[in-house]
Structure 1
């Protein structure tokens, strides 16, 4: 009986710790993507970039302009939103003051049917060729904004990174210094947990943890 109680306690601790770790890993993958970008830049002797939430919100609006059409990203049929949309649509949707928009010095965009961890999305989707590496390490960049979102709460999953050479205190300035939270999806620097795009992935992982715990409990009590 004592052994079963110990097994029960260990199961409870395992489920609690696993759930805690999972929540930390999925809070905001856009922030984790920025961390991967800055880590790669500093490793290659390039400067770390300022994470600008206004620019990041623009990146999420950039994703939404594709309306879930993954085939329009990359390849011979690659498309991109018109430059006029930044001032006419993206900035108002984010609460970014249009007068503070700064030229985009680089952009990375990827899309696929399944969700990947930020580090995997960075290396396997966004860093797909030498041109992408050159964009990442461009010395003209001074700030970065990243976003991730799915379509209708699921795949395909879009990853977008925008770079700019603006100054952190005067570019992509948010009205009232608060970004408009746009759902589904999330963007870096927003102080907001990710939502929508990652919910299915998070739910699946948490259910896996619960099932594992129930199996262990059943074994402990001989069910």
Structure 2
């Protein structure tokens, strides 16, 4: 019995050495990757406003333009900017396009965000869109906001130094508004917020706040579990499981 048991143990050791060990190493690396990726997903894709800014900066750097600082104070103001439309999608574009008066930046937007009015800097560009259904941030950027040559001029303007984005639905649903505001302010001294954090207001999300904004109103096209399932299927195929 002892001999057979030792034999089984030796066979088991050979099995680990020849088959299980590489697979074990693979899953260790996979777990590390998923842990890192999961943290990345939480920082970016759980907030559509952050993801919109990421798409914007990726496009700028691809054209050898500088990355813009994602200012949370400016992001909060972008959210307030689209709330000023009060759900009127028709006022965003076309012949009847409107925009909130500049006085609202000081009188309404800044106080609602806890932004110190004296630190407001010049708005050097604005991109606003409204859709009847939710669209992924990357598609909003490439297919909706970048609709013409004027939009491209705004995107690549060399006067920009900072950016802030906001996104919200109306009464928790459609229509969905998207806004990107650009500024030539100085990092850490423009759009500064009381207490160091912009006020979180719902509904809606804004960029730069390290805020996980993932309510049922913001569909998540991809999750950590979908990566995990895909990885295990790939592993099973590779190792013949």
Q: For structure 2, list consecutive stretches of 5 or more residues without a partner in the other structure.
A: 1-33, 227-241
141, 155, 177: which one aligns with 2:174 = 155
Which residue of the other structure, out of 162, 165, 168, is the alignment partner of 1:146?
Answer: 165
Q: Is 1:126 paired with 2:145?
A: yes
CA RMSD after TM alignment: 2.1
Distance in 2 between the 1:40 and 1:106 partners?
16
* Cα separation, partners in 2 of 1:26 and 1:155, compared to 1, 3 Å: farther
For the 8 Å contact 1:26–1:202, the answer to whether it is kept is no
Report the Cα distance in structure 1 between the residues aligned to 2:59 and 2:221, rounded to whole angstroms: 30
Deviation at 1:178, TM superposition (A): 1.1
The offset of 1:194, in angstroms, is 1.5
Larger Rg: 2
> SS where residue 172 of structure 1 aligns?
coil
Distance 1:151 1:169, change over 3 A: same
**Which of 53, 71, 78 is residue 59 of structure 1 equivalent to?**
78
Note the C-alpha offset of 1:204. Answer: 9.8
Single out whichever of 36-45 and 158-167 deviates more from structure 2. 36-45
Extract unaligned runs of 5+ from structure 1.
1-16, 210-223
* Cα distance, 1:75 vs structure 2: 0.4
Structure 1 CA distance for aligned equivalents of residues 67 and 97 of structure 2: 29
Q: Which residue of 2 aligns with 1:200?
A: 217
Give the deviation of 1:203 after TM superposition: 8.2
Under a length normalisation based on structure 2, what TM-score does the superposition of the two structures give?
0.73
Instruction: Give the Cα separation in 1 of the matches to 2:88 and 2:212.
Output: 25
Which TM-score applies when normalising by structure 1?
0.78
5 Å-filtered alignment, 1:10-21, equals: none
Map 1:1-223 to 2 at 5 A: 24=42, 26-195=45-214, 199-202=216-219
Which string of whole-angstrom CA distances, capped at 9 and with x for unpartnered residues, describes residues 175-221 of structure 1? 0101100100100011111255xx23438999xx9xxxxxxxxxxxx
Q: How many residues align?
A: 186
